Chain A
Amino acid sequence: MVGITEMTNWAVDLIDVRKTYAKTIQALRGVNIQVGRGEIFGLLGPNGAGKTTLVKIMMTVVRPNNAFGTLLGRPLGHRGKLARIGYLPEAHRFPRYLTGERLLHYYAALAKVPRSRRKDTADDLLNRVGMAEWAGMRIDKYSKGMLQRLGIAQALMNDPELVVLDEPTDGLDPVGRRDVRELLLELKRDGRTVFLNSHLLSELEMVCDRVAILVDGLVARQGTLDELTEETVEYRITCATDAGTVKDKVKALGASVDANLLTLPGHDTARVNAAIDVLRGAGLVIESVQPHRFSLEDILVQVLKDQSTTGPPTPMARPVQ
């Protein structure tokens, strides 16, 4: 059931989104996600976490069992608002008999873009995604990377306020991926909101303002990159020789030793200094002390480890705007 909730200023405000396939497979178990206007938001999670199902529910491709919330201030499923949203699905299949340019015109017409605007917009976007040269070529002659570039262009044909991209860099070479990243930042500069679903965590890290980690149909973590990595800093102290001799002493400080590397979780500098004292007291030469902030990948792995030991995450509360 899609209900009408209060109007908010979130670009995306998803509340208690649930989806069960074939009455038994719970793909989403009460997802709450909020994306501010003008943000680049990344959705990540392992395969089968429900990311694509969530995106498809947002885009009305999949019907939820339960979903409240809004997109651009209108209830989920509001048809009129879809005219202001651009969407690139994962593993898209475009009509092979069309040329690149005709495809853009076709989808723009379905998105109710006035005919007078289509030509200029299509030309501009084909240039921006580097496809102008092949605009007149049939799509069945395109490589996967070219199709992906065209797909991104079609998602922008209606001058959207919100752009939902499911694996936008899939099939692109490194140069193409960099181009897409630049395009995403450009969209942000234009004031658009970007909702990104990608398994390439390093890319999300480079462009996203906020991310959510979806695990087993629930949001396990959600926040800015700083918020997520704040609790996951560790200090790495490298010694010139093996530090095994002080293993028990530093263990009391919460550190672990692996050959000449000592790892101290958290950002308690007092404990770091205490650990240094122990090492120096044992006559060990310290080569470096480095604070290490976890990457998204580290966080994801940690979340998955937590899940395997403590069970699935509990639903997160909706943040106050």
Chain B
Amino acid sequence: MQFWALIVDSFRESIDRKIFWVLVGVTALVALAMLSVGFHGDSVSLFFGMWSTETERFNPLMDYGRANLVGFVVYLLANTVMGWIGITLMIIATAGAFPAFMERGALDVVLAKPISRPRLFLYKYLATMVFVVLQGAFFFGLTFLIMGLRWGVWVPGYLFCIVLLVLLFSYLYCVSVLVAVKTRSSVAAILLTLLAWVAFALIHQAPVVFDEFPELKERRTLYTAVRVASWIPPKTGDFPYLAARWSRAGASIDAVPFFDTATASDLDREDLDRARKVEEREISKSQLYSIGSSLLFEIVIVLWAMWIFARKDY
């Protein structure tokens, strides 16, 4: 009853925020853009037929083109639009949830209800993610339907992107909540979360840099330290690889190329080989390690934030 009340409240709080509707607008624009693309024979039309060209590269009527198309969509929509722009907007949109919840006079009434502080914190934490679930479900659900109904390409695995998006967001949201309960400032929560996101990516990518330069790799202590450090933070950089893998897992087509293939032709041969090497290594990584270690990080941060929340005076 209490959890449901907090979920409903979070939903109402979400739709009251302008940024919620900005994200809905972004989804609508993406949907419109996708709808404007049509495939007829060996030609692709854009802007509802105002412009068309003959190409096999992204034509779903060809196996090769269909695979490219799905790979491109996963890369562009899951990784760029939702993975970067969407997540950034969601961090901004949800950063104020805990500071507002913890305002003097606001939390007093809630704390006086028959619910323990740790439970209240956890319920609120999970309830705030309703925002992301809603946005993710709307975005990926709508684009999934457009791909299927308009282009004839059904990729059930693409819907796993909703789960991945919520996971990626939660890795960052725990940092936002920790900062929020400590400072009660949504601005601090936004800035430090974005900073943490960059830091996670850098720490995660550091071993790759070492692998590329043998002279660095020879410094064993440093190399070991970098590798160990890379295990700790959430693996936010794995999002596009997991999205590609999971999309393929449920796809109705034989193979979905990994996202880099879509832009590979722009790279020279050497860069392409390097990109492929990195990609192959990333994709071959254990999903359990990627998600498990990230969730472990999140659990530790959430427990820390919960401890602060439970011991504060309001």
What is A's interface to B at a CB cutoff of 8 Å? 21, 56, 59-63, 79-83, 85, 87-98, 102, 106-107, 109-112, 115, 154
Q: Which 8 pairs from chain A and chain B are nearest by CB? A: A109-B5, A97-B16, A89-B108, A93-B105, A59-B112, A87-B112, A110-B113, A83-B114
Please list 12 pairs of residues, one from A and one from B, whose beta carbons are closer than 8 Å in the complex, sorted by A's number: A82-B112, A82-B113, A89-B108, A89-B109, A92-B108, A94-B106, A95-B9, A95-B100, A96-B16, A98-B9, A106-B9, A109-B2
Residues of B within 8 A of A107 (CB): 109-110, 113
A80 partner residues in chain B, CB cutoff 8 A:
114
A227, B57: Cα distance in complex, Å = 94
- Closest beta carbon of chain B to A194's beta carbon, Å: 15
Per-residue 0/1 for B95-134: is the Cβ within 8 Å of any A Cβ (1 yes, 0 no)? 0000010011111111111111000000000000000000
Chain B interface residue count, CB cutoff 8 Å, equals 28
Chain A residue with the shortest CB-CB distance to B310: A63
A85 touches B313 (CB 8 A): no
With A and B bound together, what is the CA distance between A309 and B132 in angstroms? 62
Q: Looking across the interface, which residue of chain A has its beta carbon closest to that of B4?
A: A109
Judge whether B304 is part of the interface by a CB distance below 8 angstroms: no
Chain A neighbourhood of B109, CB < 8 A: 87-89, 92, 94, 107, 154
Question: Who on chain A is nearest to B117 by CB?
Answer: A60
**Contact code string B169-191 (vs A, CB < 8 Å = 1, else 0):** 00000000000000000000000
A57 closest partner in B (C-beta): B313
Is the beta-carbon distance between A89 and B105 smaller than 8 angstroms? Answer: yes
For residue A197, give the distance in angstroms from its CB to the closest CB of chain B: 13
A103 to chain B, nearest CB (A): 10
User: Given the complex, which residues of B lie within 8 Å of A97, measured CB to CB?
Assistant: 12-13, 16
Q: Does B47 contact A (CB under 8 A)?
A: no
In the complex, whether B314 has a CB less than 8 A from a CB of chain A is yes
Q: How far, in whole Å, are A21 and B312 apart by their CA atoms in the complex?
A: 11
- The answer to whether B108 touches A106, judged by C-beta atoms less than 8 angstroms apart, is no
Given A92-B106, A97-B12, A106-B8, 16 further pairs, Cβ under 8 A:
A61-B108, A61-B313, A79-B114, A80-B114, A81-B114, A82-B112, A82-B113, A93-B104, A93-B105, A95-B9, A95-B12, A107-B110, A110-B2, A112-B1, A112-B114, A115-B1
Q: How far is the CB of A23 from chain B (nearest CB, A)?
A: 13
Q: Which residue of B is nearest A58, CB measured?
A: B112
- Scoring A91, A106, A110 by chain B CB atoms within 10 A of each residue's CB, the highest score goes to A110
Q: How far is the CA of A85 from the CA of B108 in the complex (A)?
A: 13
Is residue B311 within 8 Å, beta carbon to beta carbon, of the partner chain? yes
Residue from A21, A56, A95, A154 within 8 A of B314 (CB atoms): A56
B111 touches A91 (CB 8 A): no
- Tell me the smallest distance from the CB of B103 to a CB of chain A, in Å: 5
**Is A61 a contact partner of B107 (Cβ separation < 8 A)?**
yes
CA distance A115 to B2 in the complex (A): 11
Once the chains bind, are B1 and A85 in contact (CB under 8 Å)? Answer: no
Contact B105 A110 (CB under 8 A): no
A104 CB to nearest chain B CB (Å): 12
Chain B residue with minimal CB distance to A98? B12
Which of A81, A85, A96, A110 sits near B110, CB closer than 8 Å?
A: A110
A110 to B102, CA, bound (A): 16
B113 touches A93 (CB 8 A): no
